[in-house]
Chains A and B, each alone.
Chain A
Amino acid sequence: MNMNDIMSLIPLWILSSAAILIFFSISIKRNHKVIFVITVVSLLVDFFFLTGYSIKHLQPVEPLLIIDGFGIFNIGLILLTTLAVVLISYAYFEQREERKEEYYILIILAALGAAILVISKHFASLFLGLEILSVSLYALIAYLRKRERSDEAGIKYLILAAFSSAFLLFGMALVYAATGSMEFAGIAAWITQAHEMPMIVVAGFGMMIVGVGFKLGIVPFHMWTPDVYEGSPAPVTAFIATVSKGGMVALLVRFFNTLNGYQYTTFMLVFTILAIASMFIGNILALRQNNVKRLLAYSSIAHLGYLLVAFLAGEKLGMEAVIFYLVAYFITTLGAFGILATLSDKERDAELLEDYRGLLWKRPLTAIVFSAMLLSLAGIPLTAGFVGKFYVLAAGIQTHRWLLVIILVINSVIGLYYYIKLIAIMFDQKQAARTSQELHPLVYIVSSVTMAILVLSLFWIGVNPEGMMTLIRDVIR
């Protein structure tokens, strides 16, 4: 590890230092505000540091990591997302009778894990990144100890994540046993050399897909999503829906491209089946859901299915589409859960459909932002979600994946129903009897500003996506 490596890893150092700093700061005095500020500042500093990197930057940190444009972009995405989550968390946790401070350590560590994930080029770093993320999430999910559901969600996630990690590890071991390398590039080289892929490697990759699929929450590894989404505190749910899944997607893209997985019908077939199943089952499950968090969970299953369509399309356009979709999806999901968090009160999260009835008339701006987010999820123009979906369809059509594309369209239509249902409830004339909150309004300014920025970027990317597209294209190269 030379100086260059160390320099390249500074964003990670900053993150880990921030975690440790908070750790110590807690041991001195617990102060929510201070720790919040530390977290925000460190994330910001980290991000600004990151923007200093050139997109063309390429610095492998042998053998585990590689810092390249793609990685930098994704780390940036993760940092911003984490920042947004942290910002909406402040108001959320301020009103809860729970120690708040550990939360920030855990979330920084989780972000760090995801960051590792997106720049790893080795099984070991992949695994460690994944586990840092997971272990932090176990605690985050169950963070609100007063709620039974939190524990339930936590233990479910823990057992299932460990279970799927075991699959991932076993798969890795098989691949390693056959190829003698744990580096992506090394494996790729071995396979190229061997001309055909031995079955044991295929099986190894297959088992790894189980682990990956679990993190992505695609069918049939999706069953945890609704329960965990429901049980977690709203900001954590946002985090799971975005960073955790997005990190995995980025990893998958890197891994698959390094291996050039597109030439193997087996994997294409597997992913096609998973994509189709995810789209259908996710959307159909969401149809009559009355819990907004679960609804969003099901919708996220479907969205990952859409994402897989772009992923399967492959080629450059497909990769661009994946990343663009991811960005749009991040913004949208953060927005949606942000609203959910803002509306939550001390007792419980605002997760029932009924909580939203007539919201437009009570809190018009909130309702409009939420509607914008839902419309973006539904892929309606003017929003980022539309451009994302357009991108995905374009990628699918370019490579003639008609089946997937048609199924995507059908599912978009099914999906419309429940997004619209939620919007319709907000526009209903009757109003929910939910009382407004008692906290000092200043607390909400942070959340409100965050939401405003999110919704503006949602529209900005929806109306003028050219900049983002160019950026992504440079990143993919």
Chain B
Amino acid sequence: MMLASLIAILMVGGIAAGFLARVNQTACRWLSLITVTIAFGIILFIWIDEGLSMTLTDSWLRDLYIPWIPSFGIAFHLAMDGLSLLMLALTFFLGILAVLVSWKEIQYRVGFFHFNLLWVLAGITGVFLTMDLFLFYFFWEVMLIPMYFLIGIWGHENKQYAAYKFFIFTQASGLLMLLAILALYFIHGEQTGIYSFDYFALLNTTLTPDTARWLMCGFLIAFVVKLPVVPLHTWLPDAHTEAPTAGSVLLAGLLLKTGAYGLIRFVLPIFPEAAASIAPIAMLLGVVGIIYGAVQAYSQTDFKRLVAYTSVSHMGFIMLGVFAFNELAMQGVVMQMITHGISTGALFIIAGVLYERIHTRDILRMGGMWKKVPFMGTVAMVFVMASLGLPGLGNFIAEFMTLIGAWQANKLLTIIATAGLVFATAYSLRIMQKVFLGKNIEGHGITDLSLREKFILVPLCIAIIWLGLFPQQVINTAKPTVANGSHAKNHAAIHNRTRTDNVQYTSAFDTERRKP
């Protein structure tokens, strides 16, 4: 029930915040802050409660199963394992920051803004939790609409274009995934006579190699567009650039991660052979993304656009790691998901903070800010360094593990990917140089971070350093998911646990099914 309550809290909170804003805008902000904090608290509670003592056999923490559309074998099935837990922790952490970051920035239609914000979070939560493919698609789409509004209403100059592009790219790919899901559903149904969208049921589908490849492509395309992988990335720079700060944070920090999550959760377990067969291509795409994103990032003059392209580059590592098929790389990927969320989110926040002060995102018009805003400069330095993969910060752990894992799979590509780190250095340092160092050309007189902004950025700093120095907890939490090939199938184990939620638990496998 706790899992469902996570989603419910956010949704209800969103609606409440939307109405509350008519009365009092500040109250609305506080309400959404409290809502997300409660969700974060729940996740921390679960983590502390049992995440710290996870073992390989006991990897599913919570499970909730409510039949929804029995005639199609669709259920409201949520389940949580270490990976979901990590992703949710990240979600709510960034969610809190997103609310905070909008405190001053959003002065227009505050209620509707927070409604959308919380619903995006709810959608993302659903994506990370659901174990029913129909429901997954459902949430997958649900998170897009509010995101679209966030970009389209509170974005910058070219917001409509960016919002369209974002929406259409993700929708198109999502629909292809829906096709694949449906095909899988029918194939599984014809094989077993059980028509079900349940993840754990569909895992057992036997597919011919050809079918598997096609179906996987359907899933893959949705995830790689979201990730994004070159050449399907072009929505991302626009969307990230035009979105309001909170939107950029959520986009970069969370939405991209849903793609990576999908790869780990669905593509690999459901289509292991097919995934293995395209691994070289996928890794190649990852490497292309790393290099291409870096090269593109270097030439950008728009701060947010630059950061957006760095995302493309960083997400290449995820592609590389996921298809390396070993635990190290996979751990690296999980780590990358988290650290990238933090570091890129922070960079977007810095861009937003700067934009609030000098009303431009053009880095050619910045420069020499350090003297005025040393604190901001220091913080920025931390995240710039994180983005170039400096050891001691979280990103390094992620990239190092990914690369060392990828090396076992494909040496040449790993070499190129590693070379990408040099490019990463080039663009990262360019940010520092153009924004904070050099001369203050336009003579902007700006003030350093306010208390609220410090309250946003300092936890991020601490998080990224903490992850760089003490990543083991995260690795342990993710371990059951990524280390154990049959992890997903261990789900049955949870049936025997007494400590499931209070709901009458119906098995995933004996609901009424129907042959259409």
- On whether A and B touch (CB less than 8 Å), the answer reads yes
* Chain B positions within 8 Å of A360 at CB level: 112
Segment 408-426 of A: residues with Cβ below 8 Å from B: 409-410, 412-413, 416-417, 420-421, 424
Q: What CA separation (Å) do A417 and B166 show in the bound complex?
A: 11
Q: Are A409 and B163 in contact (CB under 8 A)?
A: no
Does any Cβ of B come within 8 Å of A266's Cβ? no
Q: Choose, from B26-34, B146-154, B359-367, the stretch at the interface.
A: B146-154
Interface size class of A (residues with CB under 8 A): 35 or more
* Inter-chain contacts of B163 with A (CB < 8 A): 420, 424
Tell yes or no: B168 within 8 A of A by CB.
Answer: yes
For residue A382, CB closer than 8 A to chain B, the reply is yes
Asked if B175 is at the interface (CB within 8 A of a chain A CB), the reply is yes
List chain A residues, Cβ under 8 A from B148: 420
Give Cα A421–Cα B164 distance, bound, in whole angstroms: 8
Give the docked Cα–Cα distance between A360 and B112 (Å).
10
Q: Are B153 and A397 in contact (CB under 8 A)?
A: no
A138 within 8 A of B: no
- Tell me the complex Cα distance, A394–B184, Å: 11
Are A381 and B141 closer than 8 Å at their CB atoms? yes
Q: A316-B516, A393-B178 are in contact. Are A466 and B141 (CB under 8 A)?
A: no
B483 at the interface (CB under 8 A from A): no
8 A Cβ contacts from A389-433 to B: 390, 393-394, 397-398, 405-406, 409-410, 412-413, 416-417, 420-421, 424, 427, 429
Q: Which residue of B lies closest to A414 (CB)?
A: B168
User: What residues of B have a CB within 8 angstroms of the CB of A21 in the complex?
Assistant: none
Say how far B462's CB is from chain A's closest CB, in angstroms. 37
A444 within 8 A of B: no
How far apart are A447's CB and chain B's nearest CB, in angstroms? Answer: 23
A469 at the interface (CB under 8 A from B): yes
Q: Are A413 and B182 in contact (CB under 8 A)?
A: no
Q: What is the total of A-B residue contacts with beta carbons within 8 Å?
A: 81
> Whole-angstrom distance from the CB of A139 to the nearest CB of chain B?
41
Partner-binding segment picked from B67-75, B381-389, B421-429:
B67-75
B463, CB-defined interface residue at 8 Å: no
Q: State whether the Cβ of A361 lies closer than 8 Å to any Cβ in chain B.
A: yes
For A421, A424, A464, which residue has the most chain B Cβ atoms within 10 angstroms?
A424
Residue in A412, A413, A470 whose Cβ sees the most chain B Cβ within 10 Å: A413
Q: Is B183 an interface residue (CB 8 A)?
A: yes
- What is the bound-complex CA distance between A311 and B507, given in angstroms? 35
A466: which B residues are within 8 A, CB to CB?
68-71
B186 on the interface (CB 8 Å rule)?
A: yes
A191 at the B interface (CB under 8 A): no
Tell yes or no: A473 within 8 A of B by CB.
Answer: yes
Assess whether A465 is in contact with B69, with CB atoms less than 8 Å apart.
yes
Q: Are the C-beta atoms of A397 and B182 separated by less than 8 Å?
A: yes
Determine the chain A residues whose CB is within 8 A of the CB of B137 once the complex forms: 381
A316 and chain B: residue at smallest CB distance? B516
CB pair A393–B182 under 8 Å, yes or no, is: yes
Given A380-B141, A417-B164, does the pair A469, B69 have CB atoms closer than 8 Å? yes
Distance A48 CA – B179 CA, assembled complex (angstroms): 40
Please indicate the chain A residues that have their CB under 8 angstroms from the CB of B172 in the complex: 409-410, 413
Residues of B within 8 A of A (CB): 68-72, 108-109, 112, 134, 137-139, 141-142, 144-145, 148-149, 152-153, 160, 163-164, 167-168, 171-172, 175-176, 178-179, 182-183, 185-186, 516
Instruction: Identify 10 new A-B residue pairs, CB closer than 8 A, beyond the known A315-B516, A397-B182.
Output: A380-B145, A381-B142, A394-B516, A398-B186, A405-B179, A412-B175, A413-B175, A421-B164, A424-B163, A464-B69
- 6 A-B pairs in the complex with CB atoms less than 8 angstroms apart: A381-B138, A409-B175, A421-B164, A424-B152, A429-B153, A466-B69
Going nearest first, the 3 A-B pairs with the smallest beta carbon separation are A413-B172, A317-B516, A409-B175
